[in-house]
């Protein structure tokens, strides 16, 4: 009971500290200025204070944000249009594009969530690639997912999936799979011993 009260007090103090950023985030300026830049600045704060500040920031600014979000040091959620479920953890130096993340998702360090496979175009040889805009899409990550360090997520990830470290997920697979590789492929189903696969 006392611990919960202290946590609520700490979150209120964090909200007060963030009030200038929260007011700034409501200005009619480009999203990079009012959301991404403050998110990047808050990513630099280490330790419990940083986790607490980021939890309050994202809970106040994302389209949807569940309870007990942990965004570790140097991790950034790129767009306020993202949605995050309950009890999620983004590890050190994650870069999170436009996502909808279910409950109980955890990631290792240096995981990148790309806003779909076609966010950049490059086929027109008469224009610089930087001027060829693609189409972003929201990547959906189901509940109860574990994503290993240095993975790149370009496609949807089904509920119950384990993504191996260093994997590049370019397509979706069924629920409760263990996937790994570049590109990622199914290694086995969860709940089955390795000897049975």
For the annotated catalytic residues, the residue numbers are 120
Q: Are 41 and 57 in contact (CB under 8 A)?
A: no
Helix axes 2-24, 47-61, angle to 10 degrees: 60
Q: Count CB neighbours of 25 within 10 A.
A: 20
Q: Are 147 and 189 in contact (CB under 8 A)?
A: no
Q: Give the span between the Cα atoms of 147 and 88, in whole angstroms.
A: 12
Q: Give the span between the Cα atoms of 151 and 147, in whole angstroms.
A: 7
């Amino acid at each position: 009971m006392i611990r919960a009260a202290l946590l609520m007090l700490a979150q209120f103090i964090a909200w007060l500290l963030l009030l200038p950023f929260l007011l700034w985030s409501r200005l009619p300026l480009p999203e990079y200025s009012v959301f991404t830049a403050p998110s990047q600045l808050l990513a630099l704060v280490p330790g419990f204070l940083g986790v607490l500040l980021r939890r309050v920031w994202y809970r106040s600014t994302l389209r949807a944000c569940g309870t007990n979000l942990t965004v570790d040091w140097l991790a950034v959620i790129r767009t306020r249009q993202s949605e995050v479920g309950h009890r999620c953890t983004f590890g050190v130096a994650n870069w999170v594009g436009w996502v909808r993340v279910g409950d109980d998702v955890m990631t290792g360090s240096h995981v990148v969530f790309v806003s779909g496979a076609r966010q950049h175009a490059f086929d027109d040889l008469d224009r610089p690639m930087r001027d060829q805009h693609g189409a972003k899409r929201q990547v959906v990550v189901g509940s109860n997912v574990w994503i290993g360090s240095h993975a790149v997520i370009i496609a949807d990830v089904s509920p119950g999936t384990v993504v191996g470290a260093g994997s590049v997920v370019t397509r979706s697979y069924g629920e409760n799979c263990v996937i790994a590789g570049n590109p990622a492929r199914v290694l086995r189903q969860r709940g089955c011993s390795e000897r049975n696969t």
